[in-house]
Amino acid sequence: MTLHPRRRALRVRLGMAAWLTLVWCLLWSDFSLGTIVAGVVVALTVGALLPMPAIEFSGRVHPWNTAVFLARFLWDVVVASWQVAALALRRAPLPRSAVIAVPLRSHSDLYLTLTGVFTSLVPGSVIVEAHRLTGMLYVHFLGVGDMEGVERARRAVLETEAGIMRAIASDAELADAGLTRRRRARERDRTGVDA
């Protein structure tokens, strides 16, 4: 059962107002009635004066794929943290860095944003620019010394996008991006060869 678009928009606005109220109270370090009321007023005012553009989302959360993506993401964070620490502690000159253009498979604002956020959370990588019309992310990577490193970094971003899409995208969005949810097809997506 889907909600009417107006009800859905109201739910989103109320959720955003609740989130902004919580942030307001955390910033003031006070959860008194006065602070909560002031937070609600500020949240509703901000929501009315600066409305967020609507983002289309036709998928749903797939629990198994979400768990797999989050486990992989946490593993990437741990490994990258050790790699960056090792780079910081070694005496040799720092390795070369690079800004790499990564064309994403999906041109959805939602997947572009989520891919950028999760990529930036991995130590050693920062989003420099996201080009919305072309679906291109420009990512600065630390420790990319040769073309093999560039390709490895580009693959990491595309694997992040694929993991996000498998976790929350609809089947039609996956098909448009040339991806599937099944394990055998995933191996084919990654290597180009059927497993």
What does the pLDDT profile of the chain (195 residues) look like in tens digits?
455 667 777 777 888 889 899 999 999 998 999 999 999 999 999 888 888 777 677 778 899 999 999 999 999 999 999 988 888 888 877 778 889 999 999 988 889 999 999 999 999 999 999 998 899 999 999 888 788 989 999 999 999 999 999 999 988 888 888 998 775 444 555 545 443
Radius of gyration, CA atoms only, the chain:
20
Pairwise CA distance, residues 35 & 89, whole Å: 46
Pairwise CA distance, residues 144 & 99, whole Å: 9
Tell me, what DSSP letter sits at residue 180? -
pLDDT for the residue 195: 37
pLDDT for the residue 141: 92
Pairwise CA distance, residues 160 & 24, whole Å: 32
**Do 177 and 63 form a contact (C-beta atoms < 8 A)?**
no
Pairwise CA distance, residues 20 & 44, whole Å: 9
